[in-house]
Amino acid sequence: MKQQGSGVVTCAGNIVEIYPNNTYFRASKLDGAHEVEKSLEADSMVKETLCDALGNFEFTNIPDGEWRIETTVQWYVNYRPQGGMLKEDVTVKSNEKNRFIISR
């Protein structure tokens, strides 16, 4: 994420999630706006990794399909949090190199 003064802040040290991009998961991520019954099967489809110091992360063994990647980029100005959630919808293809940059 780019700060107002042109500084760049990454997701360094934060959790990055990837989950199927479908109605169930989109509804379950709406901060309580919708009640979605959680299931163990659905929970097993969410994968997590850590973002490294340079803002890179990697997932392995992700099946082909439509997925959503989500992480947080945050910094503080005068003890007030800045930044926010980054989400990117991606298509994973097993026979291609899947490299994604999340910047919004």
Annotated domain spans of the chain: 15-92
Residue 61 pLDDT: 87
Q: What string of H, E and C letters represents the secondary structure of the chain?
A: CECCCCCECCCCCCEEEEEECCHHHHHHCCCCCCCCCCCHHHHCCCEEEECCCCCCCCCCCCCCEEEEEEEEEEEEECCEEEEEEEEEEEEECCCCCCCCCCCC
pTM for the full predicted model: 0.80
Please list, in sequence order, all residues whose beta carbon lies within 8 angstroms of the beta carbon of residue 42, skipping any fewer than 6 positions away: 24, 25, 28
Query: Mind listing the pLDDT tens digit of every residue in the chain (104 residues)?
Result: 777 777 888 899 999 999 999 888 877 766 554 555 667 777 888 999 999 999 999 998 899 999 999 999 988 889 998 888 999 999 999 877 788 888 76
pLDDT recorded at residue 67: 95
